[in-house]
Amino acid sequence: MEPLLPRAIDGYLDDLARAEVDDPVLTDMERRASELSFPIVGRAVGRFLEWTAGLAGARRVVELGSGFGYSAFFFARAVGADGEVICTDGDADNAALAEGYLRRAELWDRVTFHVGDAVETFARIDDPVDVVYCDVDKEGYPDAWAAAAERLPVGGLFLCDNVLWYGRVAGLAPPGQDAQVAARQDAATEAVRTMTREITDDPRYASTLIPIRDGVLAARRVE
Ligand SMILES: C[S@@+](CC[C@H](N)C(=O)[O-])C[C@H]1O[C@@H](n2cnc3c(N)ncnc32)[C@H](O)[C@@H]1O
């Protein structure tokens, strides 16, 4: 997918993030993602997630849609040696891959990985949860938000990727996309818009949308 920002800007932001955190394991994960066109968050967003969770003093992070552990790498750094990142994904192969990568990065001891539907798994996870990070299929965003909104404590964070959905939320079709593909995306686009509107309208949360890569939403529970 073409980035929303000019490639040079995306590259500049990724280079800055790489200067702060670099690891051959991340490079290997990025290679896999690129070869298989698997949608990871990338360096700049990964660093933003780590920085935000660190600022919130998060000790327990739940990821809804972990893929093979790339975003979890950053959260695992943020929570520290005594913290916990609880990953979820519907694909058991991703769990095995994540274990391999995160063991190599010496971060696996702070990670648990559940295979199954993310929101159903989340319902079985004990409190406290300081951060919920949402990156499931876009049609699932409203349900993910509904589950997280009730569970997070005051000061807790809901973080969500792809909230610009490559411009579709603002009526922009990604360049080169044919009409049939665009039509299939309508339900996903509406789900992203619905969730974002619900967050914005929820007086318990103060939120902001950061337009890096495909847009990251950060909502902090204030009441
Ligand atoms: C965009 S990828 C996640 C990428 C990951 N957060 C990263 O940046 O490294 C989305 C992942 O969520 C998983 N997924 C999508 N919908 C799901 C659901 N409802 N329950 C569990 N996993 C889901 C997919 O299998 C896929 O691995």
pLDDT digits (tens, 9 = 90+) for 134-180: 999 999 999 999 999 999 999 999 999 999 999 999 988 766 667 66
Contacts of 42 (CB under 8 A, 6+ apart): 10, 14, 30, 213
Residue 106 CB less than 6 A away from ligand 1: no
What pLDDT shows up at residue 125? 97
Full-model pTM: 0.96
Taking residue 18's Cβ as centre, other Cβ atoms within 10 Å add up to: 16
What pLDDT shows up at residue 183? 66
| Ligand 1 probe mutation, 89, 91, 120, 159, most atoms within 8 A of CB | 89
Residue 117 CB less than 6 A away from ligand 1: yes
- CATH dotted code for 7-221: 3.40.50.150
What pLDDT shows up at residue 179? 67
What pLDDT shows up at residue 147? 98
What ranges in the chain are assigned the alpha helix state H? Answer: 7-20, 24-36, 42-55, 70-79, 92-104, 118-123, 141-151, 179-184, 186-201
Which of 167, 199, 197, 212 has the alpha carbon at shortest distance from 185?
Answer: 167
Q: Where are the domains of the chain?
A: 7-221
Beta bridge mates, 133 = 63, 159
Residues of the chain with pLDDT under 50: none
The rounded distance, in Å, linking the Cα atoms of 190 and 192 is 5
